[in-house]
Structure 1
Amino acid sequence: MFMEVSLIAVIVGAVIYILYGTIYYSLRLKGKEGANHPAHYAAAVLIGFISSFLIGALVQAFHQQGILPGAFLGLIVGLLISVVYVKNSLFGLLSRRNMYIAIGDHLIIFPLIGAIHGYFLF
């Protein structure tokens, strides 16, 4: 089965992911040492495009046409990722503060990306 993920939606989703992450994490991690390494920014851009493409593939695969169905699928992905962060925090791999920061990020950005892909689904 060939999936036609909208290139425009992937680009728009990735740009939103990058802009949102820049604002969100700059406010949350202000003054944290080592948070401004250029490789981190390059990786974040790559992750933005990969995340947007994968959410687009899910929206396409499950035919979540429209803003609300796409956002709901993105919320499910965000919740799944959040559960992993909670588990990692329980075992001491992540501080509670960082867990809340990461969960907040994923519960906002993935529904946004899903909504974008749902809007562009044809």
Structure 2
Amino acid sequence: MSIDFMDLNYLAVLAGGIVYMAFGALYYSPLLFGKHAVSLKKNQGEKETKDALKYPGAALVGFLSSFLLALIVQVSGADDVVSGLVIGLVIGFLLALAYLKNTLFGLTSKKAYALAVSDHFIIFIILGILHAVWI
């Protein structure tokens, strides 16, 4: 196993970060699941915060996720749609398991779990495919 940082497609990493943010904006918009997310917060007694750092923080998560997924794709040798999809699914399952533990212990609701895990499954499949085919 060898990681070659010079051979990494940084344009794909940049594009993946942008896709990550754009997908999140669409997924949590009123057009799709934004109203559900807001109602889940209210049902759990959480207030909508006006914290200005959450958006730069989310952008950082998007770019780091894209970068790390690009590394995994490179190390695995994935170079087609199917292998990228499989990598995205595996990462999605790992995240689902991590979120499930929190849900089982009551740290988050089952509805919030489903909403968040679906978001991550979809975006990591998209990023896996993007990095596998954009070599």
Per the normalisation by structure 1, the TM-score is: 0.91
Q: What is aligned with 1:45? A: 59
Give the counterpart letter for 1:18 in structure 2: M
Percent same amino acid among aligned pairs? 34
Mapped contact 2:78–2:84 kept (Cα < 8 A): yes
Q: Which of the numbers 19, 22, 28 marks the counterpart of 1:19?
A: 22
Give the counterpart letter for 1:120 in structure 2: W
Mapped contact 1:59–1:117 kept (Cα < 8 A): yes
Q: Alpha carbon RMSD of aligned pairs, Å? A: 1.6
Cα displacement (A) at 1:8:
1.2
Distance (Å, rounded) in 2 between the aligned partners of 1:62 and 1:36? 40
| CA spacing shift, 1:63–1:116, aligned 2, 3 Å | same
Cα displacement (A) at 1:24:
0.9
Cα displacement (A) at 1:97:
1.3
Per the normalisation by structure 2, the TM-score is: 0.82
Q: Which deviations, in whole Å up to 9, do the C-alpha atoms of 1:70-110 show, x marking residues without a partner?
A: 12101100111011111110001111111011110011000
Any unmatched runs of 5+ in structure 2?
Answer: 39-46
Distance (Å, rounded) in 2 between the aligned partners of 1:66 and 1:115? 7
Q: What is aligned with 1:5? A: 8
Distance (Å, rounded) in 2 between the aligned partners of 1:100 and 1:36? 24
Distance (Å, rounded) in 1 between the aligned partners of 2:26 and 2:73? 26
Give the counterpart letter for 2:90 in structure 1: I
Are residues 1:62 and 2:76 paired?
yes
Larger radius of gyration: 2
Distance (Å, rounded) in 2 between the aligned partners of 1:36 and 1:21? 18
Equivalent residues, number? 121
Give the counterpart letter for 2:73 in structure 1: V
Distance (Å, rounded) in 2 between the aligned partners of 1:57 and 1:80? 17
Cα displacement (A) at 1:2:
4.1
Distance (Å, rounded) in 2 between the aligned partners of 1:94 and 1:2? 36
Q: Which deviations, in whole Å up to 9, do the C-alpha atoms of 1:9-67 show, x marking residues without a partner?
A: 10111111000001112343438342553211110100000000000000000000112
Q: What is aligned with 1:103? A: 117
Deviates more, 1:106-115 or 1:21-30: 21-30
